[in-house]
Amino acid sequence: MARQISLTQYLIEQQRKHGHIPQELRLLIEIVARACKRIAIAVNKGALGDVLGSAGSENVQGEVQKKLDIIANEVLIEANEWGGHLAAMASEEMDGIYVVPNRYPQGEYLLLFDPLDGSSNIDVNVSIGTIFSVLRKVGHSRGVSEEDFLQPGKQQAAAGYCVYGPQSMLVLTVGDGVAVFTLDRETGSWVLTQEQVRIPEDTKEFAINMSNMRHWAPPVKRYIDECLAGSTGPRGRDFNMRWVASMVADVHRILTRGGIFMYPWDQREPDKPGKLRLLYEANPMAFIVEQAGGAAVNGSERILDLKPGKLHERVAVALGSRNEVERIAAYHRQDA
């Protein structure tokens, strides 16, 4: 059997090769990976671990919280607060930032996460995940505030997600390509199973919640109409549709075989740019997708260039195979 490379070994070798993974960042990634392992175990237990169903509360965005949303959030906080590598954390499931308590040393990094992505799929045994993003606290002011988190996504030091599916997988970028690790349940370690992932530039597969079609803006409607027209339409080929409704699972498919994922603005809530969260979902996924040769836009602008105005900011998203994303961006520019 070929020699197996663990996450620890991968990170140490990356550090030796390029020197761009400081020790604190390595510790941070390993701790997040360990937390994801604990979440994977809870997910796998399902009803036997009493982790299914609703918690009976709502988060700051007005979504009903599932038990696993809260469990995953707590696991990530507990795992990360004591290590000395973080100044603070922010999460989809918390109203404000979580500053590392002063009984622990404070580090320079900020960790942001969607602890459990795909909540509507928990109870139906369909793939769900965890998404995370790492920023450096810029400036040397004492203390930490929400303002420190409002950095454009291009400043991320690392980003990743874990997908809890038939296999649990961890997908990671530290700005030097994308690596994939598979959880070996017997040994409990994350084993490198793919390196330098590339998303094909072209695709015949799209992912969008079609039930919202009547609410979309004209450029999105045009793009999908052209896909649906198939081989006799302007695109000259048949397209296939896939929609898991867990962003992690849809993005993971795109990373594996190409495709385009969209969650666009829609006219029901004209003042809300989109459904997905810029800091916990769009930025980390955009970083990963770009590092794999794909692209990510909010319509006409690159997601990683956007300057967030607030912690729970939402954004429209189109990401995946480069040529398709560029086509959508062009349709948006033509429409402006």
Query: Which residues are documented as binding site for Mg(2+)?
Result: 92, 114, 116-117, 281
Give 327: exposed, middle or buried? Use CB within 10 Å, 0-12, 13-18, 19+: middle
Smallest distance from the beta carbon of 93 to ligand AHG, in angstroms? Answer: 9
CA–CA separation, 312 and 318 (whole Å): 19
Q: Phi and psi at residue 164, in whole multiples of 5°?
A: -100, 95
Site string for ligand AHG, 106-145 (x = CB under 6 A): --------x--xxxx-------------------------
DSSP calls for 57-91: EE-TTSPEEEHHHHHHHHHHHHHHSSSSSEEEEEE
Cβ nearer to Mn ion, comparing 92 with 290:
92
Does the footprint of Mn ion cover residue 114 (CB under 5 A)? yes
Does the footprint of Mn ion cover residue 250 (CB under 5 A)? no
* Beta-strand pair 128-136/109-117: antiparallel
Could you say which residues in the range 179-238 bind ligand AHG, by CB under 6 A?
209
Smallest distance from the beta carbon of 64 to Mn ion, in angstroms? Answer: 9
Q: Which amino acid is at 244?
A: V
Cβ nearer to Mn ion, comparing 63 with 226:
63
Cβ nearer to ligand AHG, comparing 199 with 317:
317
Give 63: exposed, middle or buried? Use CB within 10 Å, 0-12, 13-18, 19+: middle
- Whether 52 and 122 have beta carbons less than 8 Å apart is answered as yes
CA–CA separation, 253 and 66 (whole Å): 25
Does the footprint of ligand AHG cover residue 54 (CB under 6 A)? no
Does the footprint of Mn ion cover residue 63 (CB under 5 A)? yes
Q: Which of ligand AHG, Mn ion, none has residue 26 at its interface (CB below 5 to 8 Å by kind)?
A: none
CA distances from 145 to 78, 81, 87, 122, 266 (A): 20, 16, 10, 33, 32
Q: Which amino acid is at 298?
A: N
Among 31, 247, 278, 279, binds ligand AHG (CB under 6 A): 247
Q: Which tokens hold the place of 113?
A: 């996460």
Does the footprint of ligand AHG cover residue 245 (CB under 6 A)? yes
Q: At CA 218, angle to CA 212 and CA 223, rounded to 5?
A: 80
- Whether 115 and 67 have beta carbons less than 8 Å apart is answered as no
Q: Which of Mn ion, ligand AHG, none has residue 81 at its interface (CB below 5 to 8 Å by kind)?
A: none
Closest CA to 172 of 183, 182, 186, 158: 158
Closest CA to 190 of 45, 42, 34: 34
Q: Which stretch binds Mn ion (CB under 5 A): 108-116, 189-197, 221-229, 253-261?
A: 108-116
Smallest distance from the beta carbon of 75 to ligand AHG, in angstroms? Answer: 15
Smallest distance from the beta carbon of 261 to ligand AHG, in angstroms? Answer: 8
Does the footprint of ligand AHG cover residue 266 (CB under 6 A)? no
Cβ nearer to ligand AHG, comparing 106 with 130:
130
Among 63, 108, 123, 313, binds ligand AHG (CB under 6 A): 63
CA–CA separation, 109 and 77 (whole Å): 14
Q: Which of ligand AHG, Mn ion, none has residue 266 at its interface (CB below 5 to 8 Å by kind)?
A: none
Smallest distance from the beta carbon of 123 to ligand AHG, in angstroms? Answer: 12
Among 14, 72, 97, 117, binds Mn ion (CB under 5 A): 117
Q: Which tokens hold the place of 250?
A: 């849809």
Binding residue numbers for substrate: 117-120, 209, 275
Does the footprint of ligand AHG cover residue 150 (CB under 6 A)? no
Q: Which stretch binds Mn ion (CB under 5 A): 63-71, 166-174, 267-275, 291-299?
A: 63-71
Q: Which residues in this chain contact ligand AHG in the complex, by CB under 6 A?
A: 63, 92, 114, 117-120, 209, 245-247, 263, 275
